[in-house]
Amino acid sequence: MAAKRSGAQNKQFQQTSVRLQPVQEASREPLLSRERIVATAVELLDAQGIGGLTMRRLADRLGSGVMSLYWHVDNKEDVFDLALDAVLEYRGPPQTIEPQDWRGEVVHMLEDWRASMLRHPWSASLLPRRALGPNILSRLELLSKTLSRAGVADAELNAAIWSLWNYVMGATITRASFDLSDDERATAQLRLTRLSERYPTIERSRLLLDNDWDGAFRKGLDFLLDGLAPRQ
Amino acid sequence: MAAKRSGAQNKQFQQTSVRLQPVQEASREPLLSRERIVATAVELLDAQGIGGLTMRRLADRLGSGVMSLYWHVDNKEDVFDLALDAVLEYRGPPQTIEPQDWRGEVVHMLEDWRASMLRHPWSASLLPRRALGPNILSRLELLSKTLSRAGVADAELNAAIWSLWNYVMGATITRASFDLSDDERATAQLRLTRLSERYPTIERSRLLLDNDWDGAFRKGLDFLLDGLAPRQ
DNA sequence: GATTGACTCGTACGTCGTACGGTGTAATGG
DNA sequence: CCATTACACCGTACGACGTACGAGTCAATC
């Protein structure tokens, strides 16, 4: 009859009620935990893509019954949200960046963000449709603070933040989806070649095959930053 | 025993074999057709979102059995591809734009593209993971030709096209996902307010609530174009 | 010894995409 | 005129999915 825990998680260790018998430890470790579930979900998503995450498969990997997951997690959407945020943590800029170099800080954070999503290609397409977790909010907060410090007026701050967000998301989603299916892309280019009388220009430039994604990303980002805030 | 039609569609009217008895028409019109299926799929997607499209629901709306769809369509992914491309047709710039105004042409096509996707909010998030249909390829071809005409070097053409693509896709996917759930967004901002000690800057600027999306889109696009090609 | 709460799980239901094979009808051609 | 063929349609059934429901186990507490 246990009333299912609603949303908020146990946090069994927040009250530092002194555990008696600290000696025997193996007995009372619960098999499942939010952390273990999320970590395994990320593994599964990395290995099998977005369609590969299944409550049954997840439980299998964890060696538990399917319904046991629901004690720790509200539903599958919850798992997605948690996995997504887990992948978006930011540890801050390296020490090599001067504190007054706002542009370097912004670029580092955004490139790190993009790299994190490309390491987990399912995450990019997921981010726009899910609620914003704490880690992505921290990134936005940092972005906001840094731009403000760089002299962007309050009235233009939101527009600047969303412009950068949009650019990073668009670039990363596109890039990630191209990674997913190298052969599909080749097939598409082949189909394109067959129709080259209809699309001669993009066929000639091998649009679907040749692109320096990283360089193009950095270049467009620079253009955007040039426009959004005065060059230092 | 009919060998299921593979991929390519009937095109029963391509051979202009003269139909006898043009008088009685009602008898020989097939109930289903690719066009009717696609049109109804778009209706369903517009009304119920991406999760609302179901082969069963689609068949219901069309007054047919579920499996009848599969005569005209390979599978559900096929339906998605067709619906997506159906929504992305481009009719070209209005006459008010001078032929030598390459920038006006590009901006018009990109804004029209964005508007088309926002009219069908499911389309934006679908586009990156699906194959490129003829209509989106036409848009890319036009973009490529116009930029080339504007003086963008061949070596930089692909990077320029993808930069614009990325920007448009990012802006539109984000915008569309925000449209989907006005209340979710308000809830998020509320949750944010409760945590305002952690995210003071974005809370103060009401990042999740206040933004001039259309203006910001246009502004960022201008910055990008400024960088990609010389101002006229 | 009884109660409570934390945690685990099996069964079952409704929904989904679609493989398989059958039905009916118009066109064909002998 | 009948047999064959191709087209268009559809019912049944299967395996997979998310998850509601309620029952089980076990340690801590009263």
C-alpha–C-alpha distance, residues A108 and B22, integer Å: 70
Amino acid identity of residue B40, one-letter, is: T
Task: Copy the structure tokens of residue A168.
Answer: 């990073």
- Confidence at B232, pLDDT banded by 50, 70, 90: low
Q: What is the mean pLDDT of residues A141-167?
A: 94
Residue A50, pLDDT above cutoff 60: yes
pLDDT at position B45 is: 98
Burial A141-180 (b: 16+ CB within 10 A, else e): bbbbbbbbebebeeeebbbbbbbbbbbbbbbbbbbbbbeb
pLDDT at position A6 is: 52
Q: In chain A, which residue ranges form alpha helices assigned H by DSSP?
A: 34-48, 55-62, 69-72, 76-86, 102-119, 121-126, 134-149, 154-180, 182-194, 200-204, 213-228
The answer to whether A126 and A105 have CB atoms below 8 angstroms apart is no
Q: Which nucleotides of C are covered by protein (CB under 7 A)?
A: 5-11, 15-23, 26-28
How is domain A28-86 classified at the architecture level of CATH?
Orthogonal Bundle (1.10)
Q: Does the beta carbon of B171 lie under 8 angstroms from any beta carbon of chain A? A: yes
Task: Copy the structure tokens of residue B148.
Answer: 């080339």
Residue B142, pLDDT above cutoff 50: yes
Q: Give the relative orientation of helices B213-228 and A213-228 as an angle to the nearest 10 degrees.
A: 120
pLDDT at position B29 is: 77
pLDDT at position B10 is: 41
pLDDT mean across residues, chain A: 86
The answer to whether A103 and A232 have CB atoms below 8 angstroms apart is yes
pLDDT mean across residues, chain B: 86
Q: What is the mean pLDDT of residues A24-43?
A: 82
Closest approach of chain B CAs to the CA of A47, in angstroms? 18
Q: What is the mean pLDDT of residues A172-198?
A: 81
Q: Which has the higher per-residue pLDDT, A40 or B182?
A: A40
The shortest CB-CB distance from A174 to any of B141, B166, B202 is to B166
Residue A141, pLDDT above cutoff 60: yes
Instruction: Decide which of 1.20.1740.10, 1.10.3720.10, 1.10.510.10, 1.10.10.60 is the CATH code for B34-86.
Output: 1.10.10.60
% of chain B exceeding 90 in pLDDT: 70
- Confidence at B184, pLDDT banded by 50, 70, 90: confident
Cβ–Cβ of B132/A219 closer than 8 Å?
A: no
Q: Which has the higher per-residue pLDDT, B197 or A145?
A: A145
pLDDT at position A186 is: 76
Chain position carrying tokens 């692109």: A211
Q: Nearest-CA residue to the C1' of D23?
A: A1
The shortest CB-CB distance from A223 to any of B132, B165, B224 is to B224
- Confidence at B5, pLDDT banded by 50, 70, 90: low
Residue A12, pLDDT above cutoff 50: no
Residue A7, pLDDT above cutoff 80: no
> B118 in helix, strand or coil?
helix
**Nearest of A19, A203, A87 to residue B145 by alpha carbon:** A203
So where are chain A's domains?
A: 28-86, 102-228
How is domain B102-228 classified at the architecture level of CATH?
Orthogonal Bundle (1.10)
Q: What is the mean pLDDT of residues A142-151?
A: 95
Closest-CA residue of B relative to A184 is B131
Q: What is the mean pLDDT of residues A18-27?
A: 39
Q: Nearest-CA residue to the C1' of D5?
A: B2
User: What DSSP letter does each residue of B75-96 carry, written as one string?
Assistant: -HHHHHHHHHHHTT------TT
Q: Which of A95-104, B2-11, B97-106 has the lowest mean pLDDT?
A: B2-11
% of chain B exceeding 70 in pLDDT: 85
Contacts 24+ apart (CB under 8 A), B40-44: B41/B79, B41/B82, B41/B83, B42/B83, B42/B86, B42/B87, B42/B120
Residue B21, pLDDT above cutoff 50: no
Chain position carrying tokens 């095959």: A209
Q: What is the mean pLDDT of residues B119-146?
A: 95
pLDDT at position B182 is: 67
Q: Nearest-CA residue to the C1' of D17?
A: A54
pLDDT at position B20 is: 34
The shortest CB-CB distance from A188 to any of B132, B159, B192 is to B132
Q: What is the mean pLDDT of residues A17-44?
A: 71
Taking only Cα atoms into account, the Rg of chain A, rounded to an integer number of angstroms, comes to 23
Q: In chain A, what residues touch B169 (CB-CB under 8 Å)? A: 169-170, 173-174
Residue B120, pLDDT above cutoff 50: yes
B87 CA to D7 C1' distance (Å): 29
C-alpha–C-alpha distance, residues B186 and B120, integer Å: 22
Residue B23, pLDDT above cutoff 60: no
Q: Is B194 exposed, middle or buried (0-12, 13-18, 19+ CB in 10 A)?
A: exposed
Q: Does the beta carbon of A47 lie under 8 angstroms from any beta carbon of chain B? A: no
> A8 in helix, strand or coil?
coil
C-alpha–C-alpha distance, residues B160 and A216, integer Å: 8
Q: What is the mean pLDDT of residues B53-59?
A: 98
What is each CA distance from B145 to A131, B94, B139, B165, in whole angstroms?
Answer: 39, 18, 10, 15
Domains A28-86 and A102-228 share a fold: no
Q: In chain A, what residues touch B155 (CB-CB under 8 Å)? A: none
- Confidence at A28, pLDDT banded by 50, 70, 90: low
**Nearest of B174, B163, B84 to residue B120 by alpha carbon:** B84
pLDDT at position A182 is: 67
